Amino acid sequence: MKETLRQIASFCMALMVLFSTLSFTVDMHYCGDQLVDYSFFEAADRCSMATSPSASPGENSIMQMEMDCCTDLEIVMEGRDDLKISIDNLTFEQQIFVSTFFYTYINLFKGVDNNINSFKEYSPPPLIRDIQILDQTFLI
C-alpha cells in the first residue's frame, strides 16, 4: 500500500513538472465572429476571402472590406525555463559533495557475502554435564 502510494505521488509530481515546463501555441483564424480554423503545430488556414483577390478594381475594394473582418488570434503559453540546472554552475564544494554522494551511494549496493560463518574454525566446548538436568530447570 505504501509503495503504491509512493509510486502514484511520484507519477503525479513528474506530470506536474512536465506540464509546468511545457510550451505551446494555438493559432486561430476568425471570419467575423465565426472560428474558421485552429491549429496547434502550424499556422491556421486562412479563409478563401483572404487568398483569392479579384481582378476588377471595384470588387477589390469590396474584398478588402471583407478581409478586414477576418482576424488572426495567436495564444502563446510559455512554460517555465528556470528548471534547467547546469553542471558548469556548480562551485568546487558542490562538485565535491556530488562526487562523494555518488561514490557512497554506489558503494551501498556492493554485494555482501551472506554465507560468512565466523565460528567455522572453532569447535563447541565439550559437554561434561548437562546442567539443566542437574539443576532441574526446564523451559515450558
DSSP output for 17-55: HHHHH--EEEEEEEETTEEEEEESSSPPPPPHHHH---S
- Higher-pLDDT residue of 84, 99: 99
Phi then psi for 77, rounded to 5 degrees? -110, 105
Write down the pLDDT at residue 11: 94
Provide mean pLDDT across the span 15-40: 85
Q: Which amino acid is at 56?
A: S
How many CA atoms does the CB half-sphere of 84 hold within 13 Å? 6
Q: Does 22 score more than 90 pLDDT?
A: no
Phi then psi for 136, rounded to 5 degrees? 55, 50
pLDDT-derived band at 116, boundaries 50, 70, 90: confident
Closest-CA residue to 65 (of 45, 86, 83, 50):
50
Summary mean pLDDT of the chain:
77
Per-residue cell: 5: 502510494
Write down the pLDDT at residue 83: 62
pTM for this entry? 0.38
Write down the pLDDT at residue 52: 47
- 63 close to 54: Cβ distance less than 8 angstroms: yes
Q: What is the pLDDT of residues 73-91, one digit of tens each?
A: 888 888 777 665 666 778 8
Neighbours of 46 (CB within 10 A): 15
Provide mean pLDDT across the span 99-124: 79
pLDDT-derived band at 113, boundaries 50, 70, 90: low
Q: Which amino acid is at 6?
A: R
Provide mean pLDDT across the span 10-22: 87
Alpha carbon distances (Å) from 139 to 15, 23, 79, 128, 132: 60, 74, 72, 21, 10
- Higher-pLDDT residue of 114, 74: 74
Write down the pLDDT at residue 18: 85
